[in-house]
């Protein structure tokens, strides 16, 4: 990776904004793309994403844009943070602007709704098998990462030589990035753990207390392990 590390984040929702802040916080020249020009203009003037992360000011290294073609053309490394149901569509939008040097990372969780495919399969279908590709996932909240609170995530890729660059982008004082070559395991874990998180939230909302939450998490982890094995 060059001395000046540059990366573009595609998707200016809560999670995309939090990851862009983390990348810029680490000294990477980061450009955040959003599809709504009015929202992007407001973010540029206030240096906040007031809709999703009002308490997380943008670092100096973070810029925003609504020009997708330009941001894709100007960056070798692209981090996609869009909903899973729009993932394939966004890949189709960026495909004409990619170069032979382009590399794709995604932080989108879940499976493709229509086909049930893993997202790495969607990437291969839309962009080809040879493009360097990786995903980042983990138990994390956008608001906490945006504030710089301690977080741990995993980067996974079938191309092991790509992983060190991904780690260098994200790893910092507040974020520990682990690595894995088990792309399916990380994708599946990132999707199904949300079911457990929703169940824990329902339990809390019903006032069932810490015992019920602990039981849900313990038994849920056991089920996740059986699913993975």
Q: Which of 6, 29, 147, 193 is catalytic?
A: 193
pLDDT of residue 228: 72
CA distance 38 to 132: 33
For the cut 50, the answer to whether the pLDDT of residue 159 exceeds it is yes
Contact 59, 25 (CB under 8 A): yes
How confident is residue 2, by pLDDT bands cut at 50, 70 and 90? very low
- Which whole number is the average pLDDT over 105-116? 94
Element (H, E) at 214: helix 209-228
Q: What is the pLDDT of residue 4?
A: 60
Instruction: Report pLDDT for 227.
Output: 81
pTM to 2 decimal places:
0.92
Q: What is the mean pLDDT of the chain?
A: 94
Answer yes or no: are the C-beta atoms of 104 and 78 closer than 8 Å: yes
Active site includes 147? no
Q: What is the pLDDT of residues 3-62, one digit of tens each?
A: 468 999 999 999 999 999 999 999 999 999 999 999 999 999 999 999 999 999 999 999
| Tokens, residue 5 | 């590390």
Strands 29-33 and 77-80, bridge-based pairing: unpaired
Q: List residues bridging with 44 in a β-sheet.
A: none
Per DSSP, what are the bridge partners of residue 11?
none
Paired strand residues for 175: 151
The strands making up 133-137's β-sheet, listed across from edge to edge, are 62-65, 29-33, 6-10, 77-80, 103-106, 133-137, 151-156, 175-180
Distance from C-alpha of 206 to C-alpha of 216, rounded to nearest angstrom: 14
């Amino acid at each position: 990776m060059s001395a000046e590390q540059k990366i573009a984040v595609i998707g200016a929702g809560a999670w995309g904004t939090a990851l862009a802040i983390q990348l810029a916080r680490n000294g990477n020249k980061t450009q955040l793309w959003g599809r709504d020009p009015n929202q992007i203009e407001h973010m540029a003037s206030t240096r906040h994403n007031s809709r999703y992360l009002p308490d997380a000011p943008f670092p100096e290294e973070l810029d925003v844009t609504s020009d997708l073609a330009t941001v894709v053309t100007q960056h070798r490394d692209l981090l996609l943070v869009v909903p899973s149901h729009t993932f394939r569509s966004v890949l189709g939008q960026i495909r004409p602007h990619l170069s032979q040097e382009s590399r794709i990372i995604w932080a989108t969780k879940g499976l493709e709704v229509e086909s049930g495919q893993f997202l790495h399969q969607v990437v291969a279908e839309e962009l080809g098998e040879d493009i360097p590709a990786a995903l980042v996932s983990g138990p994390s909240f956008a608001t906490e990462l945006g504030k710089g609170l301690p977080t741990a995530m995993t980067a996974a890729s079938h191309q092991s030589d790509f992983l060190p660059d991904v780690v260098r982008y994200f790893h910092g004082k507040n974020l520990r990035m682990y690595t894995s070559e088990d792309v399916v395991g990380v994708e599946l874990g990132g999707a199904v753990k949300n079911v457990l998180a929703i169940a824990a939230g329902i339990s809390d909302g019903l006032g069932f207390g810490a015992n019920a939450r602990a039981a849900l998490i313990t038994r849920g982890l056991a089920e996740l392990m059986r699913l993975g094995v």
